[in-house]
Amino acid sequence: MSYRFKGNESIGKSVERIALAQLDEALERSRAKRGLDEAVHDVRVCFKKLRGLIRLVRAELSPDKYKRENKSFRNINRKLSKVRDSAALTEILDKLSERFSDQLKGDAFASVRTQLTKVKQARVTDKKRALAEARKRIVAERRHVKKWSIDRDKFPAIGAGLSHTYASGRKGFARAYQKQNVRAFHEWRKDVKYFWYHVQLLRDLWAGFLKDYADEIKDLVDYLSDDHDLALLRKRMLAESNGDKESHEYEALLGLIDKRRAELEARARVLGEKVYAESPEAFESRFHEYWRAWRLEEKTRTIAAHN
């Protein structure tokens, strides 16, 4: 797996290697001749991982450089997101139907699925155009990555970004359940996802333990992502149900969406309590010790190899 720091590399070398690998993967995925929805999704993931990477080392990049890179990666993903929405809604409708399959007929929400599929198919040209634009940006971004300058090779180079992402997610957790609105949960979801990327990048610090920890965070990401997609589907259904002669179908769908969202948010709350149990200071201190022990282990291994 290329999306991780290595003990035998400096932080700067790891960051450059990881960034270039993500750009290369995005370029390869963008050229897929089949499965446009998968291609759009995969390219978006690469750029989300890139944003997670630069957030981790934000303290080492100049404010202007960080702002430029973050904005560039974000804008690419926004364009791709616009052409993927219908595919995402179709996927979440299928997952919802599967979750309540014991309560639904086989053709439940058939008209809704048909309408979403029509919109999805109609956007083929838009998807191809968005992927072509992404390819142009990838070539330019490869040149920019080689100009990043990360000189420090100690924990503070990544500690500030790691702690900031953790603290932001912890605050977002409290805010989401205080406000109980779609926007608050959406903002928390973004923080959790960046935190998941950070733990993935650092999982070799304590391979077994941090892999399990990353898996728990991924579960939390999945709960919140499904919750967000369901909120988008609900919004679409409300807009399309006005005056519809089969509004009972929409009403039934809205009821299941609300029920499923309540389930997901309840699960996310329990898992959030575990993931964000520590204070940001205690969390950063713990990872600093993992880093120190990891680097000592790598140094010891290198010495032993030369004896």
- Would you give the DSSP letter of residue 58? G
3-state SS assignment for residue 243: coil
The domains of the chain are located at: 1-151, 154-307
Tell me the C-alpha distance between 39 and 45, whole Å: 10
* Alpha-carbon distances of 123 from 30, 93, 109, 116, rounded to whole Å: 16, 19, 22, 11
Give the pLDDT score at 237: 85
Topology of the domain comprising 1-151: CHAD domain (1.40.20)
Q: How do the residues of the chain divide into helix, strand and coil, expressed in percent and rounded to 5?
A: 85, 0, 15
Tell me the C-alpha distance between 275 and 265, whole Å: 15
Give the pLDDT score at 218: 98
pLDDT digits (tens), the chain, 307 positions: 589 999 889 999 999 999 999 999 999 999 977 788 889 999 999 999 999 999 999 999 989 999 999 999 999 999 898 887 667 888 889 899 889 988 877 677 877 877 777 666 657 888 888 999 999 999 889 988 988 989 899 999 999 999 999 999 999 999 999 999 999 999 999 999 999 999 999 999 999 999 999 999 999 999 999 999 999 999 988 887 665 545 777 888 899 999 999 999 999 999 999 999 999 999 999 999 999 999 999 888 877 777 6
* Alpha-carbon distances of 203 from 63, 156, 177, 210, rounded to whole Å: 27, 17, 29, 5
Give the pLDDT score at 119: 66
In terms of C-beta density within 10 A (0-12 exposed, 13-18 middle, 19 or more buried), how is residue 192 classed?
buried
Give the pLDDT score at 241: 67
Q: For the whole model, what pTM was predicted? A: 0.91
